[in-house]
A and B are shown apart, each in its own frame.
Chain A
Amino acid sequence: MQIISTKKEGRHDRSIVLLLALALSTALGVHSVSAQTRPEPKALLQQVDSLSDFTGKDFSAVFTIVTQKPGEKDSVTQARVFRRDMKKQFLILILLPEVNKGQGYLREDDNVWFYDPTSRKFSHSSVKENLQNTKAKNSDFTLSSFAEDYTVTGMNEGMVGKFPVWVLDLKANTNEVAYDRVVLYIRKDPTMLLKREDYSVNGRLMRTTAYPKYVEIEGKLLPSQILILDEINKGEKSQITMTEQSVTPLPDKVFTKAFLEQVSR
């Protein structure tokens, strides 16, 4: 066991944003494309998109986000996420840090409630507004689609570690997305997203995300470990680990304020 201390570094907010984003898009499915044939780039992109769709199923998992910043203690946020895409519902329960244990976020349609078990109070906000004090915007709560938001400008073959990949160069065709240019490294067989690079408008590499570990659930592939490298502030990185994944149907009461109130401190 490794001992890591929490740091009250404002990253809690960022972690929440990450969680919210993850709560919406985590799944990647297994699709076999022959390594010999060169797939049509747009089709490949649509395939990657379709894999991250969990519609029709309930999903839950525990996410652990550890963020490292040079010269500072690591910050840790752990949360259990429940998701029901059909009804645009999710519930996030904070497990760590200990001081925030039991806090929760419930979304139903455009409403988001924050729950604080220490005062047993809720705070309501609308998705249309900024969520709390974080930089989370509307777009963080909508499912992203590479095929819709980006145009493929280049497709090459390459390697990531020991795996042959298709390298897709994407250019944003809307300013709704966070990054103007995205480079995806997609494993040829089976189709899996291994790495993603995000670039700013002026072509600067902002962020690299690696998906080196997956778990398989009911024919779908889910990244179970993600590493995000901040390319601007070198040395700043986050590891996201997903455990206790489940697609077991959830009782309806999970997505209610009453369920959050069951948690007390």
Chain B
Amino acid sequence: MSVILRMAVRNIREHRSKSLIIGILLAVGTLTLVVGTAFINASEVGIRSTFSDVYTGDIFISGTSSDGSVSLFGVTSPGGMAQTPTIPDYEKVISIVKSTPHLAKTSSLATGFAQVTREDSATSEKASQGKIQPQDRFLFLFGVDSASYWDLFDAIDIVSGKKLQPGQPGLMISEGQMAKFSEWLGKPLSIGDTILIQGFSTIGFRLRELPIVGVFRLKEQGASPEQLAYIDIESLRVMSGMTVGANEPIQLKPEETNMLSTDNPDALFGEDLLVTSETSKSLDVNAIAAEISKPGAVNPLQADEGAWQFIVGKVDSPRNISRTIVSLNQSFAKEGIQAVAGNWQTASGPYGQSVDVVRIVFAVAIIILSIVAIIIIMNTFLISVIERTSEIGTMRAIGAGKGFVRSMFAAEATVLAAVSASIGAALGLLLTAVLRALHIEATNQFFLILFGGRYMNPVASAGNVLMAILVMILVGFIAHLYPVSLALKIQPVKAMQEE
């Protein structure tokens, strides 16, 4: 064995230029792997902390829906907008949450959608010529419990005004939105001004005029939608139809539902088509308006005080996230509560997934790069081995078996790969450190995701470095197999004649 190893080292030295080329390729491959995985690590850690710091927390609790998975953005259902469930047995859930160890801080909230609108049509013409599109007026509303929310998330800097206070009705919007809304409304908005927003939920539309109490800037961009706005929970509940008795039964006449039991429409045409005319000859429109104005069984302004859709919380250490989720879910199951706990990815729903897609694309790119590297290395090996065909022939002629030749080349490839990969890994670590020190800032959404935060912060773990070295040794070993087996197929006599 030591003979083979010595011969391998000697051969590497002897064929210095070719060894150098293959070595450089292997080293560059390792460097790419080390730096690449350092980025993936940073992106994973960064995205988690960015999301959990800005709005998802570490732990996310919601009700369950048969229509799809529940996130802060509602229910992801194939049919579109399904109703976001409220947390059932909220009091019981809260007592479970409070008694769960490691769960340091929590806050309850509900979310909804709205659009900034206006009453008159006069300025519409002007606006339609402007740059503000209907989607620019969209708001993704976080109805927060001001008493605990700001303590849990320190994600925003107030540009003007104040944060929402407990019991205070109003809206907090971002700097960007403030500018867009001002442009659309054709007047500069300031703190205290009211804006008309139209909430839309599964129950329908609701218009509300609310004062702007604060304008904010997110400390970390990239984790939350640009349309994020904070609203007091009472207003959100009314706008989203989370009102007492909203689901009260409706009494209908039999003829209003009689056809719903049939699946064969032709069966409906068995009798006469004409029904007696119910035409009302006189129509008192004022009486109709008065009738509708009469107070009904449901007061659409009476918000359901106990209705919350979500509880978000932070644990004392990231290590305890998984076990806390398991513990909460066990408690909910034991108590028979239709609630479920998840992590930041559950909470961020489709938004978190889209971020994950970028990360997966990046990982795939690295894999493709590695495959290309293997092919190039194999090709270089092939040229190198073919050039040594006469040497192989001579060795075979003086009695070296195929096995010996194979072992010799295997040792050569492995030693070369091990040395080059180690150098590459060391350079990779150095490059990672340099990139970290440069403190490069992300300029757009793509880089925010790639960096896992505002600054480039790649982190190479010992496991990743070791894996990169082992992968490249394997690559070197696999790459030499084919060219050597080709060279061994040639008769020693012919091989010796090769130049």
List residues of A whose CB falls within 8 A of some B CB. Answer: 1-10, 12-13, 16, 60, 64, 66, 68, 71, 74, 76, 80, 82, 93-103, 111, 114, 116-119, 121-126, 129-130, 132-133, 160-163, 187, 192, 194-195, 208-210, 212-217, 221, 224-225, 227, 229, 233, 237, 239, 241, 243-248, 250-251, 253-254, 259, 262-265
Q: Are the CB atoms of B246 and A215 closer together than 8 Å?
A: no
Is B18 at the interface (CB under 8 A from chain A)?
Answer: no
Is B3 at the interface (CB under 8 A from chain A)?
Answer: no
Which residues of A are found within 8 Å of B207, using beta-carbon distances?
114, 116, 118-119, 121-123
Contact partner of A116 (CB less than 8 A), chosen from B206, B253, B260, is B206
Q: Are the CB atoms of A66 and B118 closer together than 8 Å?
A: no
| Distance to closest chain A CB from B108 (angstroms) | 20
Q: Are the CB atoms of A8 and B203 closer together than 8 Å?
A: yes
Binary per-residue interface labels of chain B (170-203) against chain A in the complex, 1 for a CB within 8 Å, 0 otherwise: 0000000000000000000000000010101111
Which residues of A are found within 8 Å of B267, using beta-carbon distances?
161
Which residues of A are found within 8 Å of B283, using beta-carbon distances?
60, 246, 248, 250
Is B399 at the interface (CB under 8 A from chain A)?
Answer: no
Which residues of A are found within 8 Å of B151, using beta-carbon distances?
none
Q: Are the CB atoms of A212 and B247 closer together than 8 Å?
A: no
Q: Are the CB atoms of B289 and A241 closer together than 8 Å?
A: no
Which residues of B are found within 8 Å of A71, using beta-carbon distances?
66
Contact partner of A64 (CB less than 8 A), chosen from B128, B248, B256, is B256
Q: Which of B31-39, B294-302, B327-335, B480-488 contacts A (4 or more CB under 8 A)?
A: B294-302
Which residues of A are found within 8 Å of B115, using beta-carbon distances?
133
- How many A-B residue pairs lie within 8 Å, measured between CB atoms? 254
Which residues of B are found within 8 Å of A163, using beta-carbon distances?
269, 273
Q: Are the CB atoms of A214 and B269 closer together than 8 Å?
A: no
Q: Which of B269-318 contact A (CB under 8 A)?
A: 269-270, 273-283, 285-286, 288-290, 292-293, 295-301
**What size tier do the contact residues of chain B reach?**
35 or more
Inter-chain CA distance A118–B243, complex, in Å, is 13
Which residues of A are found within 8 Å of B286, using beta-carbon distances?
262
A241 with B255: in contact, given A12-B202, A217-B277 (CB under 8 Å)?
yes
Q: Are the CB atoms of B249 and A3 closer together than 8 Å?
A: yes
Q: Which of B78-86, B354-362, B470-478 contacts A (4 or more CB under 8 A)?
A: B78-86
Q: Are the CB atoms of B250 and A97 closer together than 8 Å?
A: yes
Given contacts A8-B83, A10-B81, A250-B285, 20 further A-B contacts (CB under 8 A): A1-B251, A2-B251, A4-B252, A8-B203, A9-B82, A10-B79, A74-B257, A94-B204, A97-B246, A100-B300, A117-B293, A210-B268, A212-B265, A212-B269, A214-B274, A216-B274, A225-B259, A237-B260, A244-B280, A265-B300
A119 with B134: in contact, given A100-B204, A213-B273 (CB under 8 Å)?
no
Q: Are the CB atoms of A80 and B288 closer together than 8 Å?
A: yes
Which residues of A are found within 8 Å of B113, using beta-carbon distances?
133
Which residues of B are found within 8 Å of A123, using beta-carbon distances?
117-119, 196, 198, 205, 207
Which residues of A are found within 8 Å of B200, using beta-carbon distances?
13, 132-133
Q: Are the CB atoms of B285 and A251 closer together than 8 Å?
A: yes
A12 with B204: in contact, given A93-B292, A123-B196, A129-B134 (CB under 8 Å)?
yes
Contact partner of A4 (CB less than 8 A), chosen from B257, B279, B289, is B257
CB closest chain-A residue, reference B242:
A8
Is B165 at the interface (CB under 8 A from chain A)?
Answer: no
| Distance to closest chain A CB from B252 (angstroms) | 5
A8 with B262: in contact, given A129-B134, A161-B269, A212-B268 (CB under 8 Å)?
no
Is B263 at the interface (CB under 8 A from chain A)?
Answer: yes
CB closest chain-A residue, reference B81:
A10
Question: Which of A7, A93, A121, A229 has the most chain B CB atoms closer than 10 A to its own CB?
Answer: A121
| Distance to closest chain A CB from B28 (angstroms) | 51
Inter-chain CA distance A262–B300, complex, in Å, is 18
A-B residue pairs, 5 tightest by C-beta: A161-B269, A210-B265, A212-B268, A116-B207, A8-B202
Is B266 at the interface (CB under 8 A from chain A)?
Answer: yes
Which residues of A are found within 8 Å of B265, using beta-carbon distances?
195, 208-210, 212, 227, 229
Q: Are the CB atoms of A66 and B300 closer together than 8 Å?
A: no
| Distance to closest chain A CB from B251 (angstroms) | 5
Inter-chain CA distance A80–B292, complex, in Å, is 10
| Distance to closest chain B CB from A70 (angstroms) | 11
Which residues of B are found within 8 Å of A227, using beta-carbon distances?
259-260, 262, 265, 268
Which residues of B are found within 8 Å of A98, using beta-carbon distances?
245, 248, 250, 296-298, 300
CB closest chain-B residue, reference A120:
B207
A124 with B248: in contact, given A217-B277, A263-B293 (CB under 8 Å)?
no
Which residues of A are found within 8 Å of B257, using beta-carbon distances?
2, 4, 66, 74, 239
**In terms of DSSP, what is the predominant structure of the interface of chain A?**
strand
Q: Are the CB atoms of B202 and A262 closer together than 8 Å?
A: no
21 contacts between A and B (CB under 8 A): A7-B83, A9-B82, A10-B79, A10-B202, A12-B204, A93-B292, A98-B250, A98-B296, A99-B204, A101-B296, A111-B121, A114-B198, A114-B205, A118-B206, A124-B117, A125-B117, A195-B265, A212-B268, A213-B273, A262-B293, A263-B289
Q: Are the CB atoms of B120 and A124 closer together than 8 Å?
A: yes
Is B160 at the interface (CB under 8 A from chain A)?
Answer: no
Which residues of B are found within 8 Å of A259, using beta-carbon distances?
285, 289
Is B320 at the interface (CB under 8 A from chain A)?
Answer: no
Which residues of A are found within 8 Å of B253, using beta-carbon distances?
1-2
Inter-chain CA distance A74–B243, complex, in Å, is 19
Q: Are the CB atoms of B252 and A162 closer together than 8 Å?
A: no
Inter-chain CA distance A187–B266, complex, in Å, is 13
CB closest chain-A residue, reference B240:
A8
CB closest chain-B residue, reference A218:
B279
CB closest chain-B residue, reference A249:
B283
CB closest chain-A residue, reference B265:
A210
Q: Are the CB atoms of A229 and B263 closer together than 8 Å?
A: yes
A5 with B247: in contact, given A100-B204, A123-B198 (CB under 8 Å)?
yes
Q: Are the CB atoms of A244 and B270 closer together than 8 Å?
A: no
Q: Are the CB atoms of A126 and B196 closer together than 8 Å?
A: no
CB closest chain-B residue, reference A112:
B121
Is B124 at the interface (CB under 8 A from chain A)?
Answer: yes
| Distance to closest chain B CB from A137 (angstroms) | 14
Contact partner of A243 (CB less than 8 A), chosen from B124, B241, B268, B278, is B278
Q: Are the CB atoms of B292 and A160 closer together than 8 Å?
A: no
Contact partner of B203 (CB less than 8 A), chosen from A2, A99, A119, A121, is A99
Which residues of A are found within 8 Å of B251, using beta-carbon distances?
1-4
Q: Are the CB atoms of B301 and A118 closer together than 8 Å?
A: yes
A5 with B250: in contact, given A99-B243, A103-B205, A217-B279 (CB under 8 Å)?
yes
Contact partner of B121 (CB less than 8 A), chosen from A60, A124, A187, A243, is A124
A4 with B250: in contact, given A10-B202, A246-B283 (CB under 8 Å)?
yes
| Distance to closest chain A CB from B300 (angstroms) | 5
Is B217 at the interface (CB under 8 A from chain A)?
Answer: no
Which residues of B are found within 8 Å of A233, using beta-carbon distances?
79
